[in-house]
Structure 1
Amino acid sequence: MRRSETTSTGDRAGFLLVAIAGVYVAQSLVTGVAAQALPALLRSQGASLQQLGWLSLLMLPWALKFAWAPWIERWRLPAGSAARSRQMVLGGQLMLAALFALMAAGGGRQVGLVMVALSLAALLAASIDVACDGFAIEQSQPSLRGWVNVAQVGGSYAGLLLGGGLFLLVAQRWGMAQGCFLLASLIALLGLPWWFLRPGSVARSLTRRPASLSQAWRRPTVRRGLVLTILLAIGPRLVMGLTGAFLLDHGMPLEQLAWLQGAGGVLAGLTGALLGGLLVRRWQARVALVTALTLQALALLCLAGAVPLLMQAVAVWVFSMALSATFVANYTLLMRCADGPQPGVDFTLFQCADACMAVVLGIVGGWLAHRLGYSAVLGLAALALAMAGVAVYYRGTGPDLFSEKPSDADA
C-alpha cells in the first residue's frame, strides 16, 4: 500500500513538473521571438540598428509585472472559493496560442499587426508567469522545489532558444506566417497537460498574508541582491540583442545564423548550465560567477577585434555558454538573498530589475551601435563585465553572501 501511494505521489510530481516546464517554455518562446528572431528578420529587411533597439520595449511586461501581481493573486485565490490556478494558466496558454495564430492568419507581413500581437503576447505571458510561480510554490513539497527550479530555468532557456532559432529558421525558409503557426501549435501542445492536471488541496492560510513590496525593500539582503542583479546585467544586456545583427552584417547568411542560435544555442545553454552547476558545486558560488563573467568578457573582446567570421561565431557561442553559467551561479546567490519570510516576492523583484535593465540597455546598446559601431559597444560591455567580476570577487553584496554554508546545500 505504501509503495502504491509512493508511486502515485511520484507520478503526480512528475506530471506537475511536465506541466510547469511547458508553461515556462511557452513564455520564453515569446521572449525568443521578440529578442532574437524578430530583430534578425527585420535587419535582413533593412531595419536600422536604432530601430532594432526599440524592440526591447517588448520586455516591459516582465519588468513591470510586480505592479499587477497582487491583482492576479487575488483572482487566482478568491476568498472562500476554490483556487483558479489551473483555469487561469490553461486559459492563458490558449489565448497565447490564439495570438500567434492571428499573426499567422495575417501572413506575418503586416509589421504593425505583428508588433501589437507580440505586445499582447508579452503582457499575457508575464501574467501567466505570476500565476504559475504561485501555483508551483503551493503544489510542490520542499523536496521537490529543486526540480521545480530546474523545470523553470531549463524550460525558460529552451523556449528562448526555440523562439529565437527554430522560429527564425522556419520563417526564413517558408515564411513568417508558417513560423507563427508553428509556435501557435507548440504553445497549445505545451498547455495540454494543464487540461488533465488535478492540483492538490492547499491550506488557505498560505494566502492570508498579502505580498508586501515595502517589507521586501526593508530587508538589507534584498537591496544587496538588487545591486548584484543590476551590476551583472549591464554587460550582457547591452549586447544580447546585437549579436545576431552583428553576424549578419559581417557576412553570415540568415539560415546559418538560425542554426547557430537554434541548435548551437541549445548546446551552449546546456553546456553552460552544466558548467555553472559543476563550478558552484566544486568551488564557491563567487568563484563560479567570476569565472563565468571572465569568459563572457573574453568572448566579447574577441568579437570586438578583427577576427574571421568563424571565430566570431565561436565567440558568440562561448558568450552564450558563459552567460548560461552566469545565470546558474547568480541564481544561487540571489536565492540566498531571497531566503526570508516572502521569497517569492523578493525573487520577483530581482526578475523585474533584470527585465528593466534589459529594456533600458537594449535601447542604449542599439543607439550606441548605431552611433559608435559594434566594436565600441562590445568593448564597453566587456569592461562592464570585468568591473562586475572585480566587484564580486573583492566585495560581497551581503553578510556571508558568497560563503558556502551548510544550509546552502539544502537550498
Structure 2
Amino acid sequence: MSTTSSATRRLTAARLLLAIGGIYISQTIVTALTTQALPSLLRSEGASLTVAGLTALLWVPWGVRFLWAPWVERMRLPTGRLERRSRTLVLTGQWIMAAILMGTGMASWAGHVSLDSFAVWLLAGLMLAAVVSASADVACDGFTVEQLAGQRRGWGNVAQVGGSHVGAMLGAGGFLLVAGKAGWPAALVAAGLAIVLLGLPMLLLREPPRDQALALGHRPGLLHALRRPQVRTGLLLMLLSSVGVRLTLGMFGPFMLDRGMSLEQVGWLFGSLHIGTGLTGAVLGGLLVRAAPGWQAVWIAVGLKAGVLLALSLAAPAASLMVLTILVGLTFSILGCLWVALYSALMNLTSPLQAGVDFTVFQSADALLAMAGGVASGWLAGHLGYSFCFGLASVLTVIATGAVWRQACMEKNTSVATQGVVHVG
C-alpha cells in the first residue's frame, strides 16, 4: 500500500501556476467573446437587437453546470482507482473549443457569408463551445483545488483570477481588434489558435495519482455536496459576499454614460482601467491571503468593498467624473482582491473526494446570482435611481461583512482549540 503523502503528490508551483493561468485565460476568452464582444460585433454587422440580445443565453451553461458536474467528476476520479484524469478532460475540452471556433471561422471564411445571415449558426456553435468550456471547468476546478495547498493556494487563486482578467481582455477587446482589422472569421480562427497555445503548459504536465486512502468507492454526487455543512456555509457566505457587486457591476457603464462620459471613454474604462486595477487587486489578494489566511482575508476584502460602495452611493448624484472614475477603479481593484480571498476560503471547504463538484456548486450559484443581479440592478436603477441601487448594494455588503467576520472568528477559535488539544497531547 502506498504511504506517499498528498503533499509529495502535488506538482511544482511554477509549472502548476503556468498551467492554471493558461487554462483560465482560455476559458475566459470564450465567455468574454460570447457575452461581451459578440453582441457588439453582431450589431455592427447589421444583426437585429433581438439576435444580439440572444447572446445572454450563452451564460446559461455556467449557471446550470452543477447539474452535470458529478458526471464530469466521476470521469475525472474513477472509482477505486488511483489515477486522476483532470489533465485529459481539461485538454480535451480545450481542443474541442478551439476546433469549434476555428471550424466556424474557416467555414464562414470559405463560404463568404455575412455575419447577419450566419448569426444563428454562429450562436449555436458558441453555445456548444460554452457548454464544453463550462464542463471542462469542473475538471479544472477539481485539479486546481487538489494541487494547491497551504500558502500556494493564494498565489494559485491569483493565477486563476488574473488569468480571468487577461482572458476577458483578449476575448473582448482583442477579438474586436482582430475582427476590425482582418474580419470576424479571422478573429475566430485566432481565438482558437490562442486556446491551443494556452493549453501547452497543461499538456506538458504529468498529473500525479491520488493517495490510496482517497481512492475509495465514493461516487461523486450533488446531494453529497449539499448535505455537507461546509458547502452550505460556503454557499451562504459566497452569496452574501457577492450580492453587492452583482447589483452594481452591470450598472457602472450606463451610470458613467448618464453622467456624461462618452462611449469611447467607457470602453477605455472597462478595458485598461478594469483590467489594470483588477490584476493589481488580484496580486494584493495573494498577499492578503498569506497575511490573513482563510475567512479573515475575505472579511477584510468585503469590508473594503462595503466602504467603496457606500462612497459611490453618496458620490453618485453630484461628484465629478474624475472622482467617480477613481471610485469605480477602486471597486474593480477590491473585487480582484476579494475573488482571490474568497476562492481560497471556499477551496478549504471542498471535500477531497469530489473537489470539482463542491467548487462547481459555489461557482454555479455565483453565476446564477450574476444573472439575477443584472436584471434586478437594471430595474432598481431605472425606477429608484443609481444612488439607491449602489446604496442597497453597500447595505447588503455591510451585512455580509458581519457574517464573514463571525465565520472568521469561529475559524480562528477552532484553530486555537485544535492547537491547544495537540499541545496538551
Q: TM-score, normalised by structure 1?
A: 0.78
The alignment status of 1:298 with 2:311, answered yes or no, reads yes
Is contact 1:296–1:322 with CA below 8 Å preserved after alignment? Answer: no
CA deviation string 1:36-60 (max 9, x = no partner): 3345556778999998776443222
Matched position secondary structure for 2:278: helix
Matched position secondary structure for 2:409: coil
Question: Which shifted more, 51-60 or 121-130?
Answer: 51-60
CA distance in 1, matches of 2:412, 2:175: 42
Match of 1:321 among 317, 327, 333: 333
- Residue 330 of structure 1 aligns with which residue? 342
Is contact 1:53–1:367 with CA below 8 Å preserved after alignment? Answer: no
Is contact 1:169–1:258 with CA below 8 Å preserved after alignment? Answer: no
- Residue 59 of structure 1 aligns with which residue? 59
Is contact 1:85–1:132 with CA below 8 Å preserved after alignment? Answer: yes
- Residue 210 of structure 1 aligns with which residue? 219
Aligned residue pairs: how many?
397
CA deviation string 1:253-303 (max 9, x = no partner): 65554443333222111222244455566674323321123213433654x
CA deviation string 1:119-159 (max 9, x = no partner): 22211111111122333445567675554333323222322
Match of 2:175 among 167, 171, 189: 167
Match of 2:282 among 273, 281, 306: 273
Is contact 2:42–2:115 with CA below 8 Å preserved after alignment? Answer: no
Identity over aligned pairs, percent: 42
Is contact 1:287–1:393 with CA below 8 Å preserved after alignment? Answer: no
For 2:23, the aligned partner's letter is: V
The alignment status of 1:152 with 2:153, answered yes or no, reads no
CA distance in 2, matches of 1:49, 1:320: 29
Structure 2: which 5+ residue stretches go unaligned? 1-8, 109-113, 417-425
CA distance in 2, matches of 1:299, 1:44: 33
CA distance in 2, matches of 1:173, 1:247: 28
Q: TM-score, normalised by structure 2?
A: 0.76
Is contact 1:161–1:265 with CA below 8 Å preserved after alignment? Answer: no
- Residue 419 of structure 2 aligns with which residue? none
Is contact 1:56–1:362 with CA below 8 Å preserved after alignment? Answer: no
Shift of the 355–61 alpha-carbon distance from structure 1 to 2, 3 Å rule, reads: same
Match of 1:349 among 341, 345, 361: 361
Shift of the 342–36 alpha-carbon distance from structure 1 to 2, 3 Å rule, reads: same
Match of 2:399 among 368, 390, 394: 390
CA deviation string 1:317-342 (max 9, x = no partner): 23212222222343354345447876
RMSD over aligned Cα, in angstroms? 4.0
The alignment status of 1:19 with 2:27, answered yes or no, reads no
Is contact 1:336–1:401 with CA below 8 Å preserved after alignment? Answer: no
Shift of the 316–31 alpha-carbon distance from structure 1 to 2, 3 Å rule, reads: farther
For 1:200, the aligned partner's letter is: P
Is contact 2:158–2:282 with CA below 8 Å preserved after alignment? Answer: no
Is contact 1:100–1:181 with CA below 8 Å preserved after alignment? Answer: yes
Matched position secondary structure for 2:207: coil
CA distance in 1, matches of 2:250, 2:229: 33
The alignment status of 1:237 with 2:246, answered yes or no, reads yes
For 1:393, the aligned partner's letter is: G
The alignment status of 1:225 with 2:234, answered yes or no, reads yes
Is contact 2:82–2:211 with CA below 8 Å preserved after alignment? Answer: no
